[in-house]
Amino acid sequence: MQCAESLRIQAYFDGEVDAISAADIERHAEHCPACRALLGDLAQTRARLRRDLDYPQAPQALRERIARTLDTEAAADASRAGDASRVADASRVAGTARAAGAPRPVGPPRALSSWRTRPFWQGVLGGAVSALAAGLAFMLLFTAPRDALLDEVVAAHVRSLMPEHLTDVVSTDRHTVKPWFAGHADVSPVVADFAPEGYRLVGGRADYFGHQRAAVVVYEHGAHVINVFAWVAGGERLPDLTTRSGYHVAFWRVGNLQYAAVTDAGWDELLRLVRLLRDLGESDAR
């Protein structure tokens, strides 16, 4: 007798579910004999396969044969390629290789330690591949964290729009909001009510991201919420003005504080608030 949950049980067994679903599935299995039995079967099958199925290594002769083939290929490659044209050719070569039947790589770039950069033929290829790898590494080092930051800020904004998540301290008085941060966040950002300019202060919140408790000041402009995040600047470079998932994001920096403002209001509305805050912050810092 199979339970309707059997595919979820399997996914749980294979480590393909998040912690929340896992807890959910464990609760279900406690009360479902069919699923408990399935978990037992899955474990048994895996154990038997891993114990008894041939797990041969590639023959040494094959290893040597491939090494020779690739050496020849690499030598031909290196003599064909000029230094700079190599990089420029990269996308074209990748394109033809794909057409030749190589499938697309799986997922987004995560690791740089590709096997092609391993010492084995690094020497053979001379500088060409390692230079390219270094270039990629450089790009990834400096783009990936900025993207992560952007994602984090937008995610925090979206989270804040869920019921009861917008503010921890509700006040239109900056003398209430600002001291509140002292106990709840790692930074003390500029807080002001720009109601006359159309930006109403609604409160503050502490969000945890970038490994610190960021202070968030919440403004409303008409029907739009604008979250202004502030945290201690690390060495990171800030993204430019960006639109992500339909939200506009602006970054700026005053003193040692990094700011990001996120909103679904228009660019003009967002940038006006950014200008007000920046001016205020700079006169504050002096």
Partner 1 sequence: MPHLDAAYRFARWLSHSSDEAQDIVQEAFLRAFRSFDALRSADAKAWLLAIVRNCHATARQQEQRRGFVPLPEEPDAQFGAETLAAAPDPESASAALDDKRALDRLMAALPAEHREVLLLREMEDLSYGEIAAVTQVPIGTVMSRLARARAALKVKWLEEAKGGPRAVR
Summarize as ranges the residues that interact with partner 1 (CB under 8 A): 6-7, 10-11, 14, 16, 41-42, 44-46, 48-59, 61-63, 65-67, 69-70, 73-74, 90-91, 93-94, 97-98, 100-111, 114-118, 120, 129, 132-133, 136
The residue (of 117 and 242) whose beta carbon lies closer to partner 1 is 117
How many whole angstroms separate alpha carbon 141 and alpha carbon 153?
19
CB of 245 to partner 1, least distance (A): 22
The residue (of 73 and 282) whose beta carbon lies closer to partner 1 is 73
Q: Which long-range contacts (CB under 8 A, 24 or more apart) does 240-247 make?
A: 241/267, 242/150, 244/150, 244/151, 244/154, 245/154, 245/158, 247/154, 247/157, 247/158
CB of 199 to partner 1, least distance (A): 42
Residue 227: CB partners within 8 Å, gap ≥ 6? 156, 157, 160, 216, 217, 218, 261, 262, 263
CB of 198 to partner 1, least distance (A): 46
Token pair of 260, please? 């990001």
The residue (of 107 and 235) whose beta carbon lies closer to partner 1 is 107
Residue (of 142, 282, 169) closest to 259 by Cα position: 282
The residue (of 105 and 234) whose beta carbon lies closer to partner 1 is 105
The residue (of 62 and 241) whose beta carbon lies closer to partner 1 is 62
How many whole angstroms separate alpha carbon 1 and alpha carbon 12?
19
Taking the alpha carbons at both ends of the chain, their separation in whole angstroms is 74
CB of 285 to partner 1, least distance (A): 42
**How many CB atoms are located within 10 Å of the residue 237 CB?**
11
The residue (of 3 and 280) whose beta carbon lies closer to partner 1 is 3
Residue (of 225, 236, 280) closest to 254 by Cα position: 280
CB of 275 to partner 1, least distance (A): 40
CB of 24 to partner 1, least distance (A): 17
